[in-house]
Chains A and B, each alone.
Chain A
């Protein structure tokens, strides 16, 4: 079928819905692979940072400083300024739309501490994270969905987007498969926005949903758009041991501490000022160092998160969900026992490069691709640089989702529908029919499993040249095997085996870009820690990587883009200490 809209938004998480809400009066379609309230924004627990100063003095510039420093100076500073200034308005907008934040005694939005957020340029922790118990993301997603209902946004639920349509250097729509029927549909639009989230399922131990398969990144990548800073992938320090489900940083914000097998709160040794509230990349690496030194629990690769001293009341009231997770998935009672945790794949700082209006830019010269927008985890405005601060993901969604929506509102008034390319559905139909026709006998599940093992082993918190090379070879082999994937399920209706196989293709390509970036970047910065290059190298590497797709895994072309700075001595790169 053929649909025509002013705007097509792919993905109904925080960024997509925030954009949709800005487009009152326009015809907007939101395509989503799952029902809208299933998006992974809903899993965010801790909060959303904004310098409201409800609890103590705070300024957006302090927030910006923390963001830039937390990102190990790979952050594009003008974007970080936009992020932290507009966070305040965006929070009020969400509150007005009904988001049920926790409250202070005088009725204002309550705020709590979170990793890496400091007062007065690093002096000590500050209460900046606005929160709704430990289900802030859930409340955010629900509120936005509710707002879209009010605005009568048209949803296409359970549609898997397969292709981005470009014509004459302009985006003009997408092609999607309706999962329920297996039908292929064309969506013709003046503006297309990708808000498809990350690709955390490339790792086995991950906090990410099954839906987080890198769809948007890979589709753009296949169409010649580069992926920026893909080597910058965050591993959250406190995932539930073996399962990966997150125990929010809010647990440490409320006072939880990490414990090794000698009963030592070891973060005090590594980071005397911020201790357990140091940025995530640092905490993850400290955990690994403890493990390497034989101080993991039972000599294994995990440590404890200790909440016992917080008391039952704080644990039950402020951290109810994560308490539930610990009980459910480990059988551990956090009130009386420490909780086994390990670093878990969590968040892509990199993604489709965009400018501060969420317009996709396709080269180091910041050339925009007209009509194409991206925001959220799929995008890289580079506000997170080499490491994202806790709670800044939700800030990213609401600020840049909002900006994308506002810019698209203007854009669609000024432009008309670009014509569709000839035979717009041919690529997608070919993709699906090849899948059905294949008799190669390979299983997508096995390939995915092999990929995840390799990524867990060689593209994790610590990397080195040898491991990354091996990973690349493995990936090359897996991509070859992938061409022979054979489906057992030949049905058209709700064929989830087909969906998983297509998604695996996305995942492989995101991993490929990640490994290339990691191999190239011969330094350690933020989440990217090379044991063979353990120091930050601002002389050579204060720049972003851009990966362009080639024919095979080894053929990726890399380009580089300068980091943008603002003219203020506070933000000049210096060593990152807490």
Chain B
């Protein structure tokens, strides 16, 4: 084992979240493909997304996507901002903070319907 510092963990997490999101994308394209089979097939397929189990997975997806997005910005800053490399550690901390801060409300909206939390948005028939 190599005891890398934040740079290494940020990279590893970036890779894992990237591959995770890719996996989801591949599934998602298939479920979109269900549109070709008419409304009944599609609606049955897509209703899976409303189940509690898939909602948990969706949360993981959203968390991963948020991290991957923010860290992507960090990487771009490292690449194009001449001082970026010097502030990579600070930027990693900011990335983690932003990820958590933006993840929490998203998680509330995703899991809300399961627990009957008020979200104020359009929601499927309970």
On whether A and B touch (CB less than 8 Å), the answer reads: no
Q: Which residues of B does A touch, CB under 8 Å?
A: none
